[in-house]
Amino acid sequence: MRTRDENKESAIREKAMQMIVDEGFDGLSMQKLAKAAGVSPATIYIYYKNREDLLNQLFNYVQQTFHEVALEGFNPNLSFEEGLWIQWKNRLKFILKYPIHFQFYEQFRNSPCINHSDINLAHFKENMKLFVMNAIKKGEMKKMEPEIFWSVAYGTLYSMVKFHLQQISMMGNTFKLTEPKMRTAFDMVIKALKP
């Protein structure tokens, strides 16, 4: 039997995300995608059941790799400050390396009618739960609801990333997110979360 062409699979995946980031969800048509990926429209349907399945699989793919990268070098017994900082750095690394993937991911998260599958995140969530519980027990962090923790700990980071990627400026000159700037914001976040 004929073998699958891995290049075709990744071409479809990458071009699809590129198109969505460039033109939005309504900018992605199967025929334009096929042309961009150098493939017949029918070939896409070998890899994906239909358009919706394509989008969901892309989302799951990015979600999985993003959270894997976020946990590199991390374990829940690290000190609160060190553990959180590793995650900030890991996330930034991924975002700068795969800005298209991340922007697709964010656009997807802010859209409706979405299969918000959390299966892939079980391991990640388990780690975070332990990490936060430890931090509270050790007195490194105030006790609070997980959504509030998440919003303080990561809302700030994501907002800065959005400024960086979307080149939206607050006062005129564009904002470039560097590690020192990350550190400035991170120190504020740590201060906020301390008991």
Residues in contact with DNA by the rule CB under 7 A: 1-5, 8, 28-32, 38-46, 50-52
Q: Which of 64, 65, 159 is nearest to 117 (CA)?
A: 64
Question: What are the two backbone dihedrals, phi and then psi, of residue 79, each rounded to the nearest 5 degrees?
Answer: -65, 155
Stretch that binds a second copy, among 24-32, 42-50, 60-68, 75-83 (CB under 8 A): 24-32
Output the six-digit token pair for 32.
């334009």
Using CA atoms in the order 99, 100, 106, 108, what is the torsion angle rounded to 10 degrees? -170
- The nearest distance, CB 1 to a second copy, in angstroms, is 36
Identify which range of 35-43, 64-72, 79-87, 147-155 contacts a second copy by CB under 8 A. 147-155
- Helix residue ranges, H only, 38-178: 41-47, 51-70, 80-97, 99-109, 122-137, 146-150, 156-166
Are 97 and 70 in contact by the 8 Å Cβ rule? The answer is no
Instruction: Report the partner that residue 195 touches, choosing among DNA, a second copy, none (CB closer than 5 to 8 A by kind).
Output: none
Q: Which segment (32-40, 68-76, 79-87, 139-147) binds a second copy by CB under 8 A?
A: 139-147
Query: Does 78 interact with a second copy (rule: CB under 8 A)?
Result: no
Residue 29 phi, psi dihedral angles, 5° rounding: -115, 150
CB of 24 to DNA, least distance (A): 12
Smallest distance, Å, CB 53 to DNA? 8
Q: Which residues bind a second copy (CB under 8 A)?
A: 21-27, 106-107, 109-113, 116, 125, 129, 142, 144-148, 150-152, 154-160, 163, 168-171, 175, 181, 184-185, 188-189, 191-193
